[in-house]
Structure 1
């Protein structure tokens, strides 16, 4: 009696495809910059820190130094850096993934294994962008707190959001319009 294994089982038996080196370098740089900013904040933040700003950049919420540091550490650590681990869903519940050409990707073990790598790389890029946005905002908060100002420079706040938006658009365009998830002949 022969048993047929599923594409998921076949994919799990295959070696993991490595993340592209340039994406790993970006991730390492982003984490290193984030840690450097946290260390800088520990050294220079005053006891009272503006931590929330209205649409015009005016501070409308304040926190203690420890509260601001907790935000700087916990949000990236708990919400952003774990994001690439969501790519594991490809090998656990591939039908739950919403990506271009998904039905082609989930039909064999080698396709699923490649699909997991593509998703992991894209999630790392989104992680890097999000971490960069948070770091830029933390730098703006720290500069505002050190200057004892009641408003953040609009260039920091809106410039960071603009760069994040353009970067996110580029990653999504690469995913959906760039053919990244098109059928790949080496996997037929």
Structure 2
């Protein structure tokens, strides 16, 4: 007898909504563009931490700053959508609303994997927006006399990130994973 996960892996992959992929492509392009800008303008020592007033409290070498700007998205954000593959391999490891319903049949698991993949791509996009804004702040501060910035320039990206992440979580846990009648047939 074929298990639901085996059955799901035999089904065609449901495509990711195009605007989600487009948004991530745009953010990856922005990240790479800012990285090129950093290579061109970062001094040997760049401010990398700031107090709430925008005054730098820590400096890092150009190499460290560029490495951080390159590796953080590659390690922390861009691999995140791969976690959706757990739905096809080990769905019992996932904690989502209605997990028992979603993991009962192959078509449900396949749809569940797409929904999860899309949500993970959206989280990736939010993380990329935050990382790019951090890169911009560091680079802009490096080029500013005194290497300080207005405090709001540091707070706004973080607040926007947290608000959008909260909205995404409400969407995810507020009905996105509700039972879908078209999969009962």
Q: Say yes or no: TM over 0.5.
A: yes
1:65 CA drift (Å): 1.1
Identify the residue that residue 19 of structure 2 maps to in structure 1: 22
The root-mean-square deviation of aligned C-alpha atoms, in Å, is 1.1
1:150 CA drift (Å): 4.2
Identify the residue that residue 13 of structure 1 maps to in structure 2: 10
Identify the residue that residue 186 of structure 1 maps to in structure 2: 182
Q: Which runs of 5+ in 1 are unaligned?
A: none
CA contact (8 A) 1:140 1:153 kept: no
Residues 78 and 160 of structure 1: is their aligned pair in 2 closer, same or farther, counting only changes over 3 Å?
same
Q: Which runs of 5+ in 2 are unaligned?
A: none
CA contact (8 A) 2:53 2:150 kept: no
Q: Indicate yes or no: 2:54 matched with 1:57.
A: yes
Q: Report the TM-score when normalising by structure 2.
A: 0.96
More helix, by proportion? 2
Mapped to 2, the partners of 1:180 and 1:98 lie a distance apart of 14
Identify the residue that residue 105 of structure 1 maps to in structure 2: 102
Q: Indicate yes or no: 2:137 matched with 1:130.
A: no
CA contact (8 A) 1:19 1:117 kept: yes
> Which stretch of structure 1 is more off in the superposition, 69-78 or 44-53?
44-53
CA contact (8 A) 2:56 2:148 kept: yes
Give the secondary-structure state (helix, strand or coil) at the position aligned to 2:176.
coil
Matched pairs, number: 184
Q: Report the TM-score when normalising by structure 1.
A: 0.94
Identify the residue that residue 64 of structure 2 maps to in structure 1: 67
